[in-house]
Amino acid sequence: MVFGGIVISSRRFLAVIRVALVCSAMPVLVSCLGPPGQPSEQSGGLAGGANCQGTSVERIWIRTASSDQLCVPLVFARNGEASFLTSNQIYLEASFPGMKPHIEQVAPGRFVRVRDLIDPHSLSLAINFGVPKGERSLNRLVREEGWIDSINGPTAPQAAFDFPDDQLHKRIHREGDIQGLGSYLVDQSRVQRYLVSIGASPDDGAVLSNYRDWHIRRAADGEILTLIRCDVAVAAIRGENSYRRPLCEHLFFYGSRRDVTITVRYFADMLLKWQQIENETQQLLRGFVN
């Protein structure tokens, strides 16, 4: 095999890759990032392991798009697969409370799932690194400020769209329903009028399930720091004798940084625990990132 102009055997090449991927596991919330030598670059932003030595749980180094170095235990990656960990985004699974991994490592390179994604306390996490124009980006998501469209360019705040739910003023604003959050609920009468106008049934549960209530936490200057979007109700799945449990999508920043955003998905009956979910997720990530 030719690698960088040097001929090496396939067996030796695989051994090098394995050394690069197998890292140690201190207790999960203790950072494995000490003062390492600079990890060597690998394709896709992955880097080989300095300061990842010696015990049975495998970890992987990632040099992120925001120039951080992470050391991530593979028991938190989906099915223990490093393919879900990239320089731009990492996908993790955990159970709440306590941020327990969904899988266990039973042998080198072998992982067994011990909790399913339909576990009622399951969290699905996506951490995005190197987010462009991160300041007030959650305000733009609710079209409170101009939205930057990668194809069509910037749009004006409160741009005139036909959708019945895309802006705060089209929603029912309530305070105090959920501690620490202002709620902007879907105006279902507005949605039903919209559905009639486009020829859809206003009573179709599968269609109504596409709409979500918004819950918002702000800083003193009005910047949105937490945005949670939850399905409005349990909705029938068209053509099936089953129901989809309502889900929440919970977005926030990593600490004070605006170039790292976190998205956590969970069942809506966990919404009242949003502060604890956010705090435990921040703590988990602090154990990975320098």
Q: Where are the domains of the chain?
A: 2-129, 137-254
Lookup: tokens for 49: 């392991």
Residues whose CB falls within 8 Å of the CB of residue 198, separated by 6 or more in sequence, listed in order: none
Q: What is the pLDDT of residue 151?
A: 45
CB hemisphere CA count around 263 (13 angstroms)? 14
Q: What is the pLDDT of residue 241?
A: 54
Instruction: List the single range of 85-89, 134-138, 249-253 with lowest mean pLDDT.
Output: 134-138
Q: Convert 28-53 to b/e letters by CB count within 10 Å (16 or more is b).
A: beeebbeebeebeebeebbbbbbbbe
Q: Which residue has the tokens 């910037």?
A: 154
Angle at 147 between CA 141 and CA 149, to 5 degrees: 110
Q: In this model, does residue 288 exceed pLDDT 70? A: yes
Q: What is the pLDDT of residue 68?
A: 84
> Where does the pLDDT of residue 234 fall: very low under 50, low under 70, confident under 90, or very high at 90 and above?
low
The more confidently predicted of residues 119 and 238 is 119
Q: What is the pLDDT of residue 145?
A: 64
Rounded Cα–Cα distance for residues 226 and 262 (Å)? 10
The more confidently predicted of residues 118 and 271 is 271
Nearest to 205 by CA among 232, 230, 184, 228: 232
> Where does the pLDDT of residue 55 fall: very low under 50, low under 70, confident under 90, or very high at 90 and above?
low
Q: What is the pLDDT of residue 249?
A: 95
The more confidently predicted of residues 255 and 47 is 255
> Where does the pLDDT of residue 204 fall: very low under 50, low under 70, confident under 90, or very high at 90 and above?
low
Whole-number percent of the chain with pLDDT over 70: 67
Report, as an integer, the average pLDDT of 119-123. 86
Instruction: List the single range of 116-120, 194-198, 216-220, 232-236 with lowest mean pLDDT.
Output: 232-236
Instruction: List the single range of 81-95, 133-147, 197-211, 262-276 with lowest mean pLDDT.
Output: 197-211
Q: In this model, does residue 125 exceed pLDDT 60? A: yes
Q: Give the highest mean pLDDT range of 10-19, 109-118, 247-256.
A: 247-256
Mean pLDDT of the chain: 73
Q: In this model, does residue 158 exceed pLDDT 50? A: no
